[in-house]
Amino acid sequence: MYDRSSPMCMLCDKNVPEYPYHLLFDCDAFDTIRVCQWNNVLNTIPDAMRQDIEHMKSNKKTEFIMSGMHCNYVDEWNEIYQVMIDFCYAIYRERRDLP
C-alpha cells in the first residue's frame, strides 16, 4: 500500500516527495508516457513558448501548465489548452492505475 506520509517516491525510489512536478516531469515510472504526451505539448505550442519552457525546471514547467488553467479562455488557444490537459491527465491516469 502506498504511504502518503513517506517523502520517498514509491514509484521510482527517489528520495523525493511525490509532488505534481515530480510526477509530471521527473518520476522514472512515467518516462514512456511522458515522452509521448510531452512531445504533443511541444509540437502544439508556439515556437517562442517552446523555447521558454524547454529551459524551465520541472517545478516551473508545472507552474506554467497549471497557470494556464486560471487564465481567460482564448478560442485560438484551444488546442494548446487541450494538449496540456491531456498531458496532465495521462500522468494522473497512469499514477491512479499503479499500486
Give 75's contacts (C-beta < 8 A, 6+ positions apart).
none
In the predicted model, is pLDDT for residue 3 greater than 60?
no
Q: Which of 35-39, 68-72, 93-97 is the least confident region?
A: 68-72
Residue whose cell numbers read 504511504: 3
pLDDT at 16 over 80: yes
| pLDDT at residue 6 is higher than 60 | no
Residues 10, 18 contacting (CB under 8 angstroms): yes
Please give the pLDDT value at position 38: 93
Q: Which three cell numbers stand for residue 33?
A: 508516457
- How large is the C-alpha radius of gyration of the chain? 14
Coil, helix or strand at residue 47: helix
What number of helices (H) and strands (E) belong to the chain?
5, 0
